Amino acid sequence: MSGAHDLAVVGGGVHGATVALFCARAGMNTVLFERGSLCREASGVNAGTLTMQMTRVALIPYALKAHAMWASARDWLGHDVGVVVCDGLSLAFTEREAELLTFRAGKRREAGAPIDLVSPARAQEVEPGLGPGVLLAGHCKVDGYANAYLTGQAYRAALIEAGVSLRERTPVSGVAREEAGFAVQTAAGPVRARRLVLAGGVWLEEMAAWLGIDLPIKVLVNQLAVTERVEPVMRTVVGIASGLLSLKQYPHGTVVIGGGWQGKGDRERGGAEIVPESLIGNMRLACHAIPALKNARLARAWAGLEAETRDALPAVGPLPGIPEAYICGSVHSGYTSGPYLARLLAQRMLGTEPADPLFPIDRLLAPAAPPTPVPSAAGRAADEQPHHV
Amino acid sequence: MALPKPHEADLVVIGAGPAGAAAALAASRAGLSVVLLDEAASPGGQVYRAPPAGLSVSPGKRGPDDDAGDALRAGIAASSVVWRGSARVWSVSGAFRVDAVTPSGNESFFAPRLVAATGAHERLVPFPGWTKPGVIGLAAATILLKSQGMIPGRRSVVAGCGPLLAAVAAKIVVAGGAVAAVVDLSGPGDWLRALPGLARRPDLLRQGLGWALKLGAARVPVLFRHGVVAVEGAEACERVVAAPVDTEGRPRGGSLRGFEADALAIGHGLVPGAEITKLLRARHHFDPAAGGWTPVRDAFGRCSVAGLYAVGDGAAVAGAEPARLSGQLAGLAAAHDAGRIPLEAFEREAASVRAGLARMSAFAGAVGRLMRPRPAMVEAIAPETVICRCEDVTRSEIETAIAEGARDINQLKHFTRCGMGPCQGRMCGETAAGLLALQVGSREEVGYWTGRPPLRPVPLADLLGRFDYGDIPVPTPAPL
């Protein structure tokens, strides 16, 4: 297969771009396909929160290492994505939320996240912008945020410096297996590579189907809102026990409000529509936590797609039965943990033992079998706490 | 407090200028229940803007627009159209739900049909000093003059292109202000070429000539084929510098002319404010003659999204009277589509409106050519000039982002923050897209800002109202 690349990556979000980056730096001749521009879907429109207090327990060890990667992005990525490391608070306003917070913070602490439960007075010291009514707070020193919309610009420069052949605005219509690898189908004809990584976020389901693999991927439509620039109203990342609020003020003064409230959309249309009640509920929650926010004006709201597997744990590992084909994505809080998970996959592809276990998708493929526990993971079934607050 | 109960109608019309008012009246006359929303306190839009409550235009200063505006307001008042003023529409979703912040909080309106009649905003190609206090838009100056009888400054320069130049300058003179100069991108030849088209509306041509005579009587210097190249002053506008330009508005060398002035009213044309059709993801195409990106429509204003109609300058810039007729057509079409006007009657009524609209096209075309986008002006912007004033982004920063790989307008926004401020890209969008188009080849390649709510920045306090924590419908927690 002369002229073939060592590696073809399909999908130019944080996952695909990170795998491509580390493989190219290790000497692989790498081509990356992105149907639009780099990191303009989930990787560019998410809230940029780098928190442990909204991260799934099974992912805490990964998120901690990924947090350190984001904080030192200038060193390994070589470019700035506006990362700010600061304290984080998860608030409880009701007895039920306090119960939920106590349970969840405990589980996350067991997994390694340095979360302390603190009094309202202590929470107020950490975040003077807090409003009244806090009963209990989870306090974590490992928190912060990135400026997600800068992700594409940073990765683009890094990939080009690493010698990756970058094919933006190049949709891939399919992948065919060949004797010595894969033929990636584009409008300009097939591009051949010995190895393949599928990193298509919510579009992983149709990508896996190219190779005959049935991997159901659920689509979440997460809404976000941003205010215009305002004077400082807060200095930490603020959430609530249920995980349905993420709130922080960027150095330039805008406040980004999120938490996974659902809008409308799908794979075909993207995050097509904001649901007004959902947006209003989310913003009321934000203003309840930080009352001074009420003086701001809403500048923009949008919705982005997040991928979720059946057990809401990542799909990162080899594609079963297809040598040299891999999948990387569908990570809850994928922006936070993405760089570390993708680097692990690159380690595996480069022939070294990954520093932490991957999340192979075999568990998701047998339709009749119950979800198999993944390494050190507490699956959805392990969450015995109430689902309503 | 729960959200207020929704209001339902057969048709919601957003924007109560000539287009929206006509659409509402035509649909209402045909039997549809119609809700008409506008952010202003009274109907009229910008062209027929009413004075604030308690004020009126003194009889000696009334013009044809005042009479037309009063007639429009009387028409709405006498109809069964449900008028909701002071309603700031911030979200349009589904098919169709309209959310507006009103004096009583957020209200939702539901209808199977929607007319977007949201008017135009100004095009302003930046130059050094354009962000200084004292510099305002040409159309903005008309609003000051119309609604409050205010002049932009003690001594103003009026600059840009199109008939608004003479209108604003003459109204400043009439209101007792001084006009240091009128600086017109067009030359006498351009006006002569426009004359046959303009003559198709003798009333407006007469009005325009009247303005010109007033300016002549006041000995206001008129600089044809000139553009403003700088506004100078320590803190605010003190001096306006003009230079000769070529046919495309590009400075072509030659002697600079400076005018002492504390105000500059300047506008380089109008851009359709098509935010609602973009938000609803209707198909759009780039049409310079209509002012820029415009929704694809049939002859009745029907968009590619079923039940959505776009009319007036918000869909394609053509002026007040074509706007009124396009609104009337869409109102009739909405009633017909709802089964309230049989085909034959619809076609008969529509035919006479369409004939009227056709008679307007020569006039609108002539004005459109005078106010057309001039890409060469964008090309001539100096590197250090601020393009996005909300976020302080210069041309050279935009050029750097393009060199770093930005290829469409939304990507450029990510790279630079251009368009992320409170104007939501309305001020900078045309220029930023023009700069990008110079590199990637066309405005079609560049695309347009993705439509997102809120349609205008909205204060959270007004939007959220009073609420108790227990009433917030917090969804099921994410999995642990």
Cα B107 → chain centroid: 25
B463 touches chain A (CB under 8 A): yes
Cα A277 to Cα A382, B97, B471, distances in angstroms: 31, 12, 12
Instruction: Give me the sheet containing B308-310, strands edge to edge.
Output: B82-84, B34-37, B11-14, B113-116, B308-310
Tens-level pLDDT at each residue, chain B (480 residues) = 444 456 999 999 999 999 999 999 999 999 999 999 999 999 999 999 988 888 888 887 788 888 999 999 999 999 999 999 999 999 999 999 999 999 989 999 999 999 999 999 999 999 999 999 999 999 999 999 988 889 999 999 999 999 999 999 999 999 999 999 999 999 999 999 999 999 999 999 999 999 999 999 999 999 999 999 999 999 999 999 999 999 999 999 889 999 999 999 999 999 999 999 999 999 999 999 999 999 999 999 999 999 999 999 999 999 999 999 999 999 999 999 999 999 999 999 999 999 999 999 999 999 999 999 999 999 999 999 999 999 999 999 999 999 999 999 999 999 999 999 999 999 999 999 999 999 999 999 999 999 999 999 999 999 999 999 999 998 888 888
Residue with tokens 């797609």: A305
Cα B281 to Cα A273, B3, B239, B323, distances in angstroms: 10, 27, 44, 22
How confident is the model at residue B278, as a pLDDT?
A: 98
How confident is the model at residue A372, as a pLDDT?
A: 53
Residues B232 and B291 reside in one and the same domain: no
Report whether CATH 2.160.10.10 matches the domain A85-142+218-308: no
B106 touches chain A (CB under 8 A): yes
CA dist., res. A108 & res. B151, Å (int): 64
Selected residues 83-102 of chain B with any CB under 8 Å from a CB in chain A: 90-91, 93-94, 97, 99
Residue with tokens 């010995």: A194
CA dist., res. B101 & res. A41, Å (int): 30
Residues B17 and B111 reside in one and the same domain: yes
When divided into structural domains, chain B yields a total of 3
For B460, the closest of A100, A297, A378 (CB atoms) is A297
In a domain, B131, yes or no: yes
Rounded to the nearest angstrom, the minimum Cα separation between B278 and chain A is 11
Residue B212, SS3?
A: helix
Q: What is the CATH number of the domain that holds B388?
A: 1.10.10.1100
Numbers of helices and strands, H then E, in chain A: 11, 18
Query: Residue A96: enclosing H or E segment and its boundaries?
Result: helix A95-110
The answer for residues whose C-beta is within 8 angstroms of residue A91's C-beta and 6 or more apart is: A97, A101, A123, A130, A134, A136, A137, A238, A239, A240, A241, A289
Interchain CB distance below 8 Å, B454 and A298: yes
Residues B131 and B224 reside in one and the same domain: yes
Report chain B residues whose CB lies below 8 A from the CB of A133: 469
Residues B250 and B287 reside in one and the same domain: no
Please give the DSSP secondary-structure letter assigned to residue A169.
T
Report chain B residues whose CB lies below 8 A from the CB of A384: none
Residues B246 and B276 reside in one and the same domain: no
Gyration radius from chain A CA atoms:
21
Domain-terminating residue out of B335, B368, B401: B368
Residues B298 and B311 reside in one and the same domain: yes
Domain-terminating residue out of B206, B241, B268: B268
Torsion-angle region of A121 (φ positive above 0: left; ψ -120 to 50: alpha; else: beta): alpha
In a domain, B315, yes or no: yes
CA dist., res. A327 & res. A325, Å (int): 7
**Does residue A126 register a pLDDT over 60?**
yes
Say what the pTM is.
Answer: 0.94
Residue A106's closest chain B neighbor by CA? B480
CA dist., res. B52 & res. B62, Å (int): 15
Amino acid at A343: R
CA dist., res. B396 & res. B399, Å (int): 5
Burial of B207 (0-12, 13-18, 19+ CB in 10 A): middle
Report chain A residues whose CB lies below 8 A from the CB of B275: none
Interchain CB distance below 8 Å, A281 and B461: no
The segment(s) of chain A belonging to CATH 3.30.9.10 are: 85-142+218-308
In a domain, B281, yes or no: yes
Tell whether ipTM is more than 0.90: yes
- Among 3.40.1590.10, 3.90.1150.10, 3.40.47.10, 3.50.50.60, name the CATH number for the domain at A5-43+150-216+310-384: 3.50.50.60
Report chain A residues whose CB lies below 8 A from the CB of B473: 277, 281
Interchain CB distance below 8 Å, B460 and A107: no
The residue range of the domain holding B438 is 381-446
Q: What is the CATH number of the domain that holds B259?
A: 3.50.50.60
What the block records as the tokens of A123 is: 């929470």
Report chain A residues whose CB lies below 8 A from the CB of B99: 276
Residues B163 and B255 reside in one and the same domain: yes
Residues B108 and B96 reside in one and the same domain: yes
Rounded to the nearest angstrom, the minimum Cα separation between A254 and chain B is 9
Residue A153's closest chain B neighbor by CA? B415
How confident is the model at residue A367, as a pLDDT?
A: 59
CA dist., res. B365 & res. B202, Å (int): 15
Residues B59 and B26 reside in one and the same domain: yes
Report chain B residues whose CB lies below 8 A from the CB of A254: 420
Which of A266, A298, A374 is most worth mutating to test chain B (most B CB atoms within 10 A of its CB)? A298
What the block records as the tokens of A339 is: 């760089």
B411 touches chain A (CB under 8 A): yes
Domain-terminating residue out of B268, B291, B310: B268
Residues B361 and B429 reside in one and the same domain: no
For A302, the closest of B91, B452, B469 (CB atoms) is B452
Q: Is residue B296 a contact partner of residue B308, using CB atoms and an 8 Å limit?
A: no
Closest by CA to B1, choosing from B105, B149, B143, is B105
Report chain B residues whose CB lies below 8 A from the CB of A272: 281
More confident call, A10 vs B66? A10
**Does residue A376 register a pLDDT over 80?**
no
Dihedral sign of CA atoms A159, A161, A164, A165 in order: positive
Q: Is residue A172 a contact partner of residue A33, using CB atoms and an 8 Å limit?
A: yes
**Does residue A28 register a pLDDT over 50?**
yes
Residue with tokens 């035919």: B351
How confident is the model at residue B62, as a pLDDT?
A: 81
φ/ψ of B113, rounded to 5, equals -130, 150
Interchain CB distance below 8 Å, A383 and B480: yes
Closest by CA to B288, choosing from B303, B301, B313, B271, is B271
In a domain, B298, yes or no: yes
Residues B250 and B140 reside in one and the same domain: yes
Residue with tokens 């006509």: B22
Query: Residue A205: enclosing H or E segment and its boundaries?
Result: helix A204-210
CA dist., res. A225 & res. A238, Å (int): 15
How does DSSP assign A319-362, residue by residue?
PTTSTTEEEEE--TTHHHHHHHHHHHHHHHHTTS--SS--B-TH
In a domain, B412, yes or no: yes
Q: Cis check for the bond before B467: say yes or no (omega within 30 of 0).
A: no
Report chain B residues whose CB lies below 8 A from the CB of A293: 460
Q: How large is the average pLDDT for residues A13-35?
A: 98
Residues B132 and B205 reside in one and the same domain: yes
